[in-house]
Amino acid sequence: MTDGKISGMLMAAMADPAAPAEHRIIVRYKPNITISSRPLPGSTKARHFSLLAASAMRTTAEQVRLLASDPVVETIWPDQLVHTCLDLSVPHIHAPQVWTYGYTGRDVPVAIVDTGIDPSHPDFAGRIAGMEDLTGEGPKDNHGHGTHVAGIVGGAGGKYRGVAPEAQLYAAKVLHGDGSGYMSEVIAGLEWAVQQHVKVINLSLGGVGPCDGTDALSTACDAAVEAGVMVCVAAGNYGPVASSVGPPGCARRVLTVGACSNDDTIASFSARGPTADGRVKPDILVPGVNVASCRAQDTAMGTPIDALYTRASGTSMATPHATGLIALLLQAFPDLTPAQLKERLMSTAVDLGLDPNAGGSGRADGLSAYQGTPAQPGQPGTPAPGGCLLAVAHLLTRER
């Protein structure tokens, strides 16, 4: 039955009498189908992907069904909207202790797939290795979210220093000035990042849950991991409701990151599992409340501190902390696979005694992950409840 190739969400949209005449879709083909032989009925514009052997296009409901009848087509998904996961923190995760061993993320290539990065910010001087605009707006970060996220990963400032201050940064602009974009744009950013041979990708963005990991973006994220790239994804800000983790946080192979405060209390907004197919998510918690980081020029995201820095909260800010820790581990242990990196961070986390579908394996700890031994609450160097060691930027601004 051809309708079995069409996702349930897309079928519902096609049946809606108020739906627009054209639908934004992503078509996945069978393996080894060349671009020249991909069916594109009635579509004048299409974006092709190799990561998934897929194409994104706009077409009518009738043409969707025509596509579904083609034997080379496997799945047709809706091209859904995603947005920033906005809603302060870092020595709390012991990144500075890892620096003392000589690991600062030096030259580890990290991609920020977001609203872009402000290359004029002094905290990134000489370390932006590549920039790509997939939105058509131009590469300028005219929202501020991507610059803030990049500062948490690898800002090299003084007071608001990033987790991996010597990492190499790549910026894929996939979200527009209003902080939103389509899955197809994000997939294009993922594909570009993989082609740049980055080692880790940060996705501080997502859609509304629940989801089961079979949507187009989650599938693309898993494909990137299978290609050898670590992918860190925000759980989303739709907590504390159960099953509120949205795509691509529900992907199977990624590291899905929830947010806590500096006293190891889970943030109320941090999305909870389980996924729609019953899996535990998020995988881990990292501080993501009231984080100070880089501010893009001419933007006002979050609560500005001065011309160069702003504060924000959200799983968007928690995720780049995890990405920065992965960059430290990759400098120290360059042969670790994405699965090994994920397991190492999860198995050495501080157990906060939370339901796994709220707090995952616990709160990430950089020093314990580096040493390969489980962290313990209250161990030497851990801030007391309510305390904060301010050496790594942390940012998540809530945006509903």
Catalytically active residues are 114, 145, 316
Contact indicator for 37, 9 with CB cutoff of 8 Å: no
Q: Is 27 helix (H, G, I), strand (E, B) or coil?
A: strand
Strand pairing of 46-49 and 180-182?
unpaired
Alpha helices in the chain (DSSP H): 8-15, 61-68, 95-99, 145-154, 183-195, 216-226, 315-332, 338-347, 356-359, 366-371
What's CA 58's distance to the chain center, in Å? 25
Rounded CA-CA distance 265/359 in Å is: 10
37 burial (CB, 10 Å; 0-12 / 13-18 / 19+) is: exposed
Q: Which residue has the tokens 């940064």?
A: 169
CA distances (Å), 348 to each of 84, 337, 369, in order? 28, 17, 5
SS3 242: coil
DSSP E strands, 91-197: 109-114, 128-133, 168-173, 180-182
Work out the angle at residue 153's Cα, subtended by the Cα atoms of residues 148 and 158, and round it to the nearest 5 degrees: 80
Give yes or no for a contact between 179 and 86, defined as CB atoms under 8 angstroms apart.
yes
